[in-house]
Amino acid sequence: MVKLIVIDAEGAEHVLDAEPGRSVMKAATDELLPGIMGECGGCLSCATCHGYVDEAWLSRLDPPGEEELDMLSCAVDVEPNSRLTCQIEMSEALDGLVIRLPAAQF
């Protein structure tokens, strides 16, 4: 298990244990964490698992693919560090990853 830290829009910190290989979206929705939906279950068709990657971690992630960028343009309040968290796979290298959630997914 690796650590995933999700900070919700109110600033509350949720420390989750995530299985390597599991996506950030799945790890968060498994816990029924509010503020993240993941409506489509990870098939890149809803843009409701939107999160902001902590600046310190940005360079350690693979850049988003074309389909993710296309769907990301559908999300609300998008920033340069925005990602669809169903596309971020947890791994040893991402142990301690910090993701902030937007005020709303839609």
Partner 1 sequence: MAETQLLFRKAEVPEHVPPENVIDFDLFAQPSADTDFFEYWKRLQAPGVPDFVWTPCNGGHWIATRGEDIHTIYADHDRFSSRNILLPAERNEAIRVLPTSLDPPEHRPFRSLINHALSPKVVRGLEPSIRELTVSLIEGFRQRGHCEFASEFAELLPISLFLKMVNLPVEDRLKLKALSEQVNRPDGSMTPEEVNQGFYDYLMPVLLERRANPGDDIFSQFLAGSIDGRPMTDAEAFELCMQVLIAGLDTVVSVLGFLMMFLARNAEHRQLLVDDPARIPPAVKEFLRRFPLVAIPRTVIHDMEFQGVRFKEGDLILVPTMLHGLDDRAYQCPLEVDFERRIGIHSTFGAGVHRCPGSLLARAELRIFLEEWLSRIPRFDIEPGRTPKVLYGIVGTVVDLPLVWQV
What is the number of alpha carbons within 13 Å of residue 70 lying toward its C-beta? 6
- The distance of closest approach from Cβ of residue 22 to partner 1 in the complex, given in angstroms and rounded to an integer, is 15
Measured from the CB atom, is 81 or 91 closer to partner 1? 81
Check residue 79 for interaction with partner 1 (CB under 8 A): no
Measured from the CB atom, is 18 or 71 closer to partner 1? 71
Which residue in 71, 84, 98, 99 binds partner 1 (CB under 8 A)?
71
Residues in the chain: 106
Of 55, 49, 57, nearest to 86 (Cα)?
49
Measured from the CB atom, is 61 or 78 closer to partner 1? 78
CA distance 40 to 57: 26
Of 66, 103, 61, 106, nearest to 81 (Cα)?
61
Q: Which residues bind partner 1 (CB under 8 A)?
A: 32, 39-41, 43, 45-48, 50, 70-71, 74-76, 104-106
